[in-house]
């Protein structure tokens, strides 16, 4: 079981998910689900590090030697018919080593995703050559590629019902149906899915499917300080000094927008990264080596207006661009100082 491989790492004292800052409670709960090998859905808005967190889980896995059969069979535990037959006849198969990164398989949930993408497909030409029920005619899908690793299923609730049902069959019975074929799936993987509860273009997940998972609710970074660190860590550094106070000002404004009752969709962490990078770029265009308040003000609309959605009660009265610039003006009035004094200080002739 994968959880056995993970357990020694999971109980370590140090932070084993270093790419995610903060979110201590989520990290704790995630460790607890992994220890018992349960499947997880990370629920939360986009851009808060759900993918990174799942990748960090795979990074905890050591390299593993598998047979090069397309199903990642462990030499000691053959799963596919080829490897099973080879074991019976005492033949050894070509092996390969999977790194931790290769033990992470990503599936992007979308209305177009087909059961065949997930499970695999029968190749009609090979079926004619080898016979329709022969394993040679079957091309394994993502689930088999994730065997002995982490299957990351992004935006599970954007998948059609048919796909959700086949996933349920895999989780419940270890079986899947492709056309008129039943495919046995005795694969060993940890399934980490994500779901954005605010996405309106989604299918409802059935209660029986949800019953196969534990849900962890993730939210935006709790503190301004944490989000500032994320900007320094993940944002592109263009070699321009970004005064710490000014970055705090940007992040505080974004936190205030997130708390605004008129917003249906709030600005993500990518909005913070956008301000961080674009303000530096503006400083370069103005031939300065330090970001000023003006560099931020210039990009507020371009970075933020399309990243928010106003509630119906407001959106007929105001468009997002005007809303963002008005809110920024209000914020400026409430937090004086940066727009005048600090700007002059920040100006260093380039």
DSSP designation for 240? -
Q: Which of 41, 60, 71, 327 binds Zn ion (CB under 5 A)?
A: 71
User: Is residue 98 part of the contact set for Zn ion (CB under 5 A)?
Assistant: no
For residue 211, give Cα distances in angstroms to 109, 168, 171, 200: 19, 10, 11, 22
SS3 184: strand
Q: Which is nearer to Zn ion, 66 or 247 (CB)?
A: 66
Sign of the dihedral through C-alpha 91, 94, 100, 101: negative
Under the criterion CB under 5 A, does residue 80 sit at the interface with Zn ion? yes
Residue 136 CB, shortest distance to Zn ion, in Å, is 12
Site size toward Zn ion (CB under 5 A) is 6
**Could you give the CA distance from residue 189 to residue 73 in angstroms, rounded to a whole number?**
12
Shortest distance (Å) from residue 80 CB to Zn ion:
3
Nearest distance from C-beta of residue 222 to Zn ion, angstroms: 45
Q: 58 vs 69, which CB is nearer to Zn ion?
A: 69
Token pair belonging to 36: 């018992």
**Residue of the chain from 2, 57, 69, 224 that contacts Zn ion (CB under 5 A):** 69
83 forms part of the interface with Zn ion (CB under 5 A):
yes
Sole residue written with tokens 């790194």: 99
Interacting residue with Zn ion among 20, 58, 73, 230 (CB under 5 A): 73
Strand-pairing partners, residue 183, are: 176
What does the block give as tokens for 160?
A: 């059609």
317-336 residues in contact with Zn ion (CB under 5 A) are none
Interaction between residue 187 and Zn ion (CB under 5 A): no
CA distances, 153 to each of 3, 49, 331 (Å): 18, 14, 39
Give whichever of 48 and 79 is closer to Zn ion, judged by the CB atom.
Answer: 79
Q: Which residues here bind Zn ion, judged by CB under 5 A? A: 67, 69, 71, 73, 80, 83
């Amino acid at each position: 079981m994968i959880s056995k491989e993970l357990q020694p790492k999971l109980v370590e004292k140090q932070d084993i998910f270093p790419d995610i800052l903060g979110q201590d409670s989520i990290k704790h709960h995630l460790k607890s689900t992994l220890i018992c090998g349960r499947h997880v859905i990370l629920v939360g808005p986009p851009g808060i590090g759900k993918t990174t967190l799942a990748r960090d889980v795979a990074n905890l896995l050591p390299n593993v030697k598998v047979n090069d059969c397309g199903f990642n069979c462990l030499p000691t535990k053959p799963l596919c018919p080829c490897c099973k037959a080879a074991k019976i006849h005492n033949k050894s198969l070509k092996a390969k080593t999977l790194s931790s990164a290769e033990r992470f398989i990503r599936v992007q949930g979308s209305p177009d995703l087909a059961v065949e993408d997930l499970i695999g497909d029968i190749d009609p030409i090979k079926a004619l050559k080898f016979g329709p029920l022969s394993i040679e005619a079957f091309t394994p899908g993502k689930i088999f590629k994730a065997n002995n690793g982490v299957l990351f299923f992004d935006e599970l609730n954007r998948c059609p019902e048919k796909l959700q049902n086949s996933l349920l069959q895999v989780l419940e019975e270890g079986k899947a149906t492709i056309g008129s074929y039943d495919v046995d799936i005795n694969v060993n993987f940890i399934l980490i899915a994500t779901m954005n509860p605010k996405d309106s273009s989604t299918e409802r997940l059935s209660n029986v499917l949800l019953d196969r998972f534990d849900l962890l609710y993730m939210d935006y970074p709790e503190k301004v300080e944490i989000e500032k660190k994320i900007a320094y860590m993940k944002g592109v550094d263009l070699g321009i000094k970004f005064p710490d106070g000014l970055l705090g000002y940007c992040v505080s404004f974004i936190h205030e927008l997130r708390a605004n009752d008129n917003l249906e969709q709030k600005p993500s962490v990518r909005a913070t990264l956008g301000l961080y990078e674009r303000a530096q770029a503006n400083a370069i265009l103005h031939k300065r080596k330090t970001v000023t308040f003006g560099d931020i003000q210039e990009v507020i609309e371009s970075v933020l207006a399309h990243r928010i959605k106003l509630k119906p009660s407001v959106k007929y009265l105001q468009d997002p661009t005007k809303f963002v610039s008005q809110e920024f003006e209000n914020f400026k009035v409430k937090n004086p100082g940066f727009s005048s004094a600090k700007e002059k200080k920040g100006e260093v002739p380039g």
